[in-house]
Structure formats: C-alpha cells, structure tokens
Amino acid sequence: MYYQVNPYFRSPVPTRQNKNKVKVYGEGSVSVQPDQATVTLGVITENKNLQQAQQINATETTNVINAILGSGIPRENIQTSEFRIDIDYDYQDGQQVFRGYRITNLLTITIDQFANVGEIVDIAVDNGANTVRNIDMTVSNQERFYQQALVKAIKNAQEKALLIADTLGVSINEIPSDLKEITSTSPEQPRPFVLGVSTEKVTTTPIEAGQFKITALVEANFQY
C-alpha cells in the first residue's frame, strides 16, 4: 500500500534533519608473538665447469632436502623458490675475464612450530646449505586477531567523534551513519638473516620472535 503526501498539509511542528556530520579515522592494533615462519635458504656453487657446478649443487641441495625431511618437516612444506645459473667475470685492465659459473638453488621451508626455526636452520647448514636469505615470521589464525583490532578501531573512531562533539558543544549520534573498513593486517617485512657457517656446532642458532603487529583502520561518519 502506498501513501501520497498532501502537498498543502504543513506539519505544526517543524522537523529538523541532522545533516551535519564529522568524519574521523579509527585505528586499532593487536601485538601477537609469531608462531610460524618461512625460511629461505639454499646452496650456492661456483665452478669453472658448468657440468661440475650443476652436479655439486644438485648433490648438496638433495642432502639439505633429505636432512630437513628427516627432521620432521613434511615434503609439502619445502618448495624450490629460485634456481639460476650466472656467469661470473673478473675485470682486468678494463677487460672481462671469465671466472666461472655460479649456480643458486634456494628452498623456501614452512615451519609450523616457531621454536624449531633455529634447529632447522642449523640442520640445513650442517648438511650443505651455505646461504640463508631471510626468515619471514607469521601468525596462524590472523583473522581472529584482526577482528580484535577492528573492534578497537571502531571504538577509537567513536572516542574521537565524541571528543570533537564535546569540544564543539554539540550532541552527536554515537552510531556512525557510514563506516568503511580501510585496511586489513599489516604484516612485518621479512627480516634479512645472515648466517656464518661454522665447522663446529656449539649451540642452536637463536631466533627471536619479537612481536607481530596486526592493524585495522576504519573511516566513520557521525551525524550531529
């Protein structure tokens, strides 16, 4: 059923529409200790003979993979992330002089238990790995922590709007008329990790987890 408003009818009580609004941004974050990691490591081989370089690199990379598998890491958590062959030159009197070939074979290893990261790195190095590029720390079930950050962001926006209203001396609706989610999680950048290969193992390589910051940002409009 539809109703048509009588154009000649005037309400005895004038109605006031709140068209004034204030836009604020709310931010919330949660700090969580990483519980997972991906490690990029591998074997770099240099040799003047390409076939020999390939054979040596293949053998040592296979040894690294088998050792990591033997430590309990499942095969699906080991992935080849880079394989390349480069030609190295020396420069003598402005001339390029062939020095040899360099083969790089990198593996990305996903480690579900963060406490095992240092041990896995040591196992790889003990079995032939001679480069560790980075350790990327992550948090499992990030969505749960992001939701906590999002709640904080919304409350932060409300607090800002109320503060502005109080300063202006106006009454404001605490429920936003518009609410837009701007960001999701803000993962940390992979940390470069340089490892000196020692011939004598003294202790497990220490890896510090630090804190992983998960941030949410919202844009909100409040009417007053």
Q: Domain for residue 59, yes or no?
A: yes
Whole-number Å distance between alpha carbons of 224 and 31? 34
Structure tokens at 213: 């910051």
Query: Domain check: are 144 and 113 in the same one?
Result: no
Query: Domain check: are 117 and 191 in the same one?
Result: no
> Which residue among 105, 120, 138 closes a domain?
138
Q: For the segment 86-128, what is each residue's pLDDT rounded down to a tens digit?
A: 999 988 888 888 889 999 999 999 999 888 999 999 999 999 9
Give the other-Cβ count within 10 Å of 114's Cβ: 19
CATH number of the domain where residue 182 is located: 3.30.110.170
Q: For the segment 143-183, what is each residue's pLDDT rounded down to a tens digit?
A: 999 999 999 999 999 999 999 999 999 999 999 999 999 96
Query: What are the E-state strand segments in 48-149?
Result: 78-92, 95-111, 131-138
CA-closest candidate to residue 60, choices 132, 133, 126, 134: 126
Query: Domain check: are 42 and 121 in the same one?
Result: yes
> Which residue among 138, 161, 186 closes a domain?
138
Q: Domain for residue 4, yes or no?
A: no
Q: Which domain holds residue 212?
A: 20-35+139-224
Greater confidence (12 vs 5) lies with 12
Q: For the segment 29-72, what is each residue's pLDDT rounded down to a tens digit?
A: 999 888 889 999 999 999 999 999 999 999 999 999 999 999 99
Angle at the Cα of 188 (from 151 to 131), degrees rounded to 5?
A: 155
> Which residue among 114, 138, 162 closes a domain?
138
Number of domains in the chain: 2
Residue 56 identity: I
CA-closest candidate to residue 80, choices 58, 100, 102, 101: 58
CATH number of the domain where residue 56 is located: 3.30.70.2970
Q: Is the pLDDT of residue 135 over 90?
A: no
